[in-house]
Amino acid sequence: MKKVKPKDNVVHMAKIHETAIVHPGAKIGKNVEIGPYSIIGPNVEIGDNTKIGPHVVIDGWTKIGCNNKIFFGASIGLEPQDLKFHGEKSYLFIGDNNTIREYVTINRGTENGGGETRIGNNNLIMAYCHVAHDCQLGNHIIMSNAANLAGHVIVEDHAVIAGLAGIHQFVRIGKMAMVGAHTKVVKDVPPYIIVDGHPARVAGINVVGLRRNGISPELRQEIKRAYKILYRSDLNISQAIERMDQELETSPEIEHFLRFLRNATRGIVR
């Protein structure tokens, strides 16, 4: 594979280190920086103003948006670690304004999982994290060092996953939820709550996260009522949903909470 020179199909304003290897088929946007010894595969698209550090590998059918920062040693868009994968065409989509730190690994999707892994915008994925095949991440998510997502995991907006946490395949992490450090999560984590432990147990409401995301005191009070109905009564989930429907003030946040509970296929952390 030859090194691409500015006179080839790479935009002239891109800054590509002389030791980097960029396939002629790759699409590189304006003001992109590619550091020493990084390798960019033939089906990769990189948006404007993205900065790629040294020794990064980006391969597969991978599309990365604008203004991202990808640090030393990251491995992006390579084949999934799934025995059912047999080389089929699959995808990885990464949005804008994400920070992907050292040695992060993000795999593209599989045919059985819908064919794509997807990461939204404004996320911080710290060093040594792993995002497996077919995961779906929203926006403004924080994954602390060495947090790991198995295949098919869904993480909703503004969730926080602390260091060394392990998330089981097909689990869903709700909006503004927080997963504590070293936590083993094998069931869905409803929005707005904190879970911790091995295995995970509910530890309360993520009050700090709610405040940081501009949730009003009145709405926080309604979320607290929902939490008490779900976790501090003797009701099962169906009964709790029915009671919340009857007693709580309607809002997008409460509706999302109820919708999450109705769609929880693995059960929820209790």
Q: Is 143 helix (H, G, I), strand (E, B) or coil?
A: strand
84 token code pair: 């059912």
Q: Answer yes or no: 133 catalytic.
A: yes
Instruction: Provide the sign of the torsion angle of the four alpha carbons 228, 234, 240, 242, taken in this order.
Output: negative
Options 60, 65, 77, 151, the catalytic residue: 151
Options 130, 133, 158, 168, the catalytic residue: 133
Q: Cβ distance 131 to 107 under 8 Å?
A: yes
What are the strands of the beta sheet with 116-119, ordered from one edge?
A: 27-28, 45-46, 61-64, 91-94, 116-119, 136-137, 154-155, 172-173
Q: Answer yes or no: 151 catalytic.
A: yes
Options 59, 96, 134, 196, the catalytic residue: 134
Distance CA 82, CA 103 (A): 20
Distance CA 156, CA 177 (A): 8
Q: Answer yes or no: 134 catalytic.
A: yes
Q: Cβ distance 93 to 116 under 8 Å?
A: yes
As beta bridge partners, residue 64 has 46, 94
Distance CA 224, CA 52 (A): 43
Catalytic residues: 133-134, 151
